[in-house]
Structure 1
Amino acid sequence: MTQIDSLFVTRLYRSHLSEYGKPVDLAEMEASCYSIAQDDEAGQEWCEENDYVGYTSYASLTDLGWRFPIFKDLVKVLDKHVAVFAKDLAFDLGDKKLKLDSLWINILPQGGVHTSHIHPHSVISGTTYVTMPQGASAIKFEDPRLAMMMAAPTRKKKAPQELRQFIYVAPEAGEVLLWESWLRHEVPMNLAEEERISVSFNYGWG
């Protein structure tokens, strides 16, 4: 009997924040993101120096939980989601837990992009979405084997999702996505007139 198995699965976690905690006030979080962006001169300078369209606190702030209580509450909820995902991934963590090591804001206006990248030195990465206006960019994930497919033909447009080389996920405000940090991803150009706001994060081990 012929048998075809799927090997070396890449997992993507998607859930609503409120699934494992009290609902996060997205309006308050949006206001907090704008307030921080307005006051963060170092972050503004970094974005300007690196031709980054929009704003990110990635290179400037490491204490969002201290600055605004809503981010402290967010981390408590994210901890629960990450624990669920780590269990699904069958990680042997021993007596150590995965712990948040960075959390940052992304405000992406029309025409802004997040180029393709991975998150080195982390185990699980993710993003939660504060505003996702109609027409805002989906996040694009790349098959981690793509670099080895030197002579492989392209896939059919209607190929099953698990066989596609790129996957686009359009989350809603209030949702959280988690993935292993080695998974390459990007946000194509935002075509929406309104700004796309998200909060990204990394969890490490040990």
Structure 2
Amino acid sequence: MSTTPLFVTPLYRAPLSARDPRIDTAELRASCLSIAEDDEAGQDWCDRNDFPGYTSYASLTDLPWRFPIFAEVVKALDAHVAGFAEELAFDLGDKALKLEDIWINILPEGGIHTSHLHPHSVISGTTYVSLPDGTSPIRFEDPRFPMMMAAPPRRKDAPENLRNFVYVTPAEGEVLLWESWLRHEVPMNMTDEDRISVSFNYAWA
């Protein structure tokens, strides 16, 4: 007898600098903090929506134009995404996957990103700028979960590929990529330092 896993959900992990070793993480961190301090529209959006910390998602759409370090990041991400698309065996025809959005996330102590997905995109991901010791991982949800109404729970020692939720602890300077339909969240930051990341979406242009 044999068992074959079907319909895998791939997660791509690599150092951002693997595609461009010139990227300066310290400069990227300083740029994120500077933008957060100056972006009054983003700060107002966060206040109005009770969003803990800061995100530029609703305010700035031109980070690569404003700061050269973000242009370098996008070039590296383009290469990572192209490699991941090849692993996924996407038939893109004469259309490339192109950056649609890129934004900064700063989660202070108590900050969370609730469960969500990224509609209208193909590949989404995050690169990690600052991760204090003990800060939140990212949690991915099995996309079949809503269809498991009558299924018993999994044992605590279940293999990772059979669990309903998988927690992934990234490293500073790492980039994670996944297909945009994969639901994910960031549990509460329990440390007293900021968790800083840059997230993005790629669409089939």
Do the structures match in fold with TM over 0.5? yes
CA distance in 1, matches of 2:179, 2:73: 20
Could you say what secondary structure the match of 2:8 adopts? Answer: coil
Aligned partner of 1:78 in structure 2 is 77
**Which ranges in structure 1 are unaligned for 5 or more consecutive residues?**
none
How many pairs does the alignment contain?
205
2:60 match = 61
Report how far residue 192 of structure 1 moved: 1.1
Q: Partner of 2:89 in structure 1?
A: 90
Q: Distance in 1 between matches of 2:20 and 2:159?
A: 33
* Partner residue in 1 for 2:16: 17
Q: Which position in structure 2 is the counterpart of 1:49?
A: 48
Deviations 1:61-83 (A, max 9, x none): 00000110000000000000000
1:196 maps to 2:195:
yes
Whole-angstrom distance in 1 between the partners of 2:73 and 2:57: 17
Where do 1:1-206 residues align within 5 Å? 2-206=1-205
Structure 2: distance between partners of 1:64 and 1:178: 20
The residue type equivalent to 2:3 in the other structure is I
Distance 1:23 1:131 in 2: 18
Separation of aligned partners in 1, 2:201 and 2:59: 16
- Over residues 151-205 of structure 1, what are the superposed CA-to-partner deviations in whole Å (9 max), with x where a residue is unaligned? 1111111111100100000101000000000000000000011100000000000
Q: What is the percentage of aligned positions where both structures have the same residue?
A: 69
The alignment partner of 2:95 has SS state of: coil
Please give the per-residue CA displacement for 1:120-155, whole angstroms capped at 9, x wherever unaligned. Answer: 000000000000000110000000000000011111
Counterpart residue identity of residue 46, structure 2: C
How far apart are 1:23 and its partner, in Å?
Answer: 3.9
Give, in whole Å, the separation in 2 of the partners of 1:192 and 1:90: 40
RMSD of Structure 2 on Structure 1 (CA): 0.6
Residue ranges of structure 2 left out of the alignment (5+ in a row): none
Distance 1:80 1:70 in 2: 16
